[in-house]
Amino acid sequence: MLVPDSPESDAARDVYALEIEQGVAVLYRASKARVKRLVEHLDPDMQTAGYLVLRYVMAHEPIRAGDVAAGLSMDKSAVSRQLTALRESGLIEAQPDPEDGRASLVVSSVKANERLDEFRVELKSDYRRMLASWDAADIEAFARLLNKFNESR
């Protein structure tokens, strides 16, 4: 057990920090591979930036293109290119903005939602397989601590 504010605690924290860094690096590589698989499932021609834009749209729809750019801290022209590609792939649709007849709102399509749902089924299966030998308490602790870790940024 780590004793707060002790030299042993500081040394142990340094060791654990290195182990955590290595574990996060492994998770990062696995996450990138998973995103690549998802992007290919959604549309083989989609760029990763397109996926980020699509996920943002899905989380905030209906939304204006400028708000997508602001929310992702991306250049408006880059977001516009990604939205055009997503629209051409049938993954998003434009709707008139009821508050401003000159503007339009972007929403995800049924196709995008169906493909994402298909992938989530596969993903759930992957996680069930990876966690099959874990007991429920360990799974709960891992989920809780992972959330705590992510919130501490």
**What is the dihedral angle through the alpha carbons of 47, 51, 52, 54, rounded to the nearest 10 degrees?**
130
Q: 48-60 vs 76-88: helix axis angle to the nearest 10?
A: 90
Cα 65 from Cα 63, distance rounded (Å): 7
Confidence bin at 25 (pLDDT 50/70/90): very high
Q: Is the pLDDT of residue 7 over 90?
A: no
pLDDT of residue 19: 95
Q: Where are the domains of the chain?
A: 1-42, 44-108, 110-153
pLDDT digits (tens, 9 = 90+) for 62-103: 999 999 999 999 999 999 999 999 999 999 999 999 988 888
pLDDT of residue 27: 93
- Phi, psi (deg, nearest 5) at residue 73: 55, 45
Which residues, 6 or more positions from 45, have their beta carbon under 8 angstroms from its beta carbon?
85, 89
pLDDT digits (tens, 9 = 90+) for 101-117: 888 999 999 999 999 99
pLDDT of residue 140: 98
- Phi, psi (deg, nearest 5) at residue 90: 80, 20
CATH 1.10.10.60 holds for 44-108: no
The model carries a pTM of: 0.73
